[in-house]
Amino acid sequence: MEGEVCGICGGDGRVANAFGGSTATCPGCHGTGRKTDVSQVFRDVTKTKPSHHKAPASGPAAAKWPTSLEGTQLANAIRDGSLGADVKTRLIVEIIDHEATHGRCTQTFVKKMRKQAGIAAPTPK
């Protein structure tokens, strides 16, 4: 028998219950009394299937411009406004994200965005 003496059972291969006096096979050495070579017990089972070697499929491309009527009108107003390029980009991305989560731009959201961008509400025709 090779290997060091098991630290759990002290080399006996059995462990005893302190309350009932019953014994069982040592979970550390499985009854051999010696430490097991963990390099043989544990093996890497990750990425064993051919499907795991493929590159992950990329998701749908992110929208570059709002798709709803309200979102498009709002984005056009922001684009044509006098804000800085970074602020315009941030506001348009916020519109796109809102559409992605809510489906369309609500009146409340449009009012909020117009206020942030400093754009007056369009006059009814």
Please state the domain count of the chain.
Answer: 2
Q: How far apart are CA 56 and CA 112, in angstroms?
A: 38
More confident residue, 91 or 22: 91
Q: Which domain holds residue 16?
A: 1-38
Task: Report if residue 50 sits inside a domain.
Answer: no
Confidence (pLDDT) at 44? 62
- State the pTM of this model: 0.49
**What average pLDDT does the chain have?**
80
What are the pLDDT digits (tens) for 48-82? Answer: 666 656 665 565 666 688 888 899 999 999 999 88
Share of the chain above pLDDT 70, in %: 74
Task: Report if residue 53 sits inside a domain.
Answer: no
Q: How far apart are CA 11 and CA 30, in angstroms?
A: 11
Residue 38: pLDDT over 80: no
Six-digit token pair at 54? Answer: 């493929």
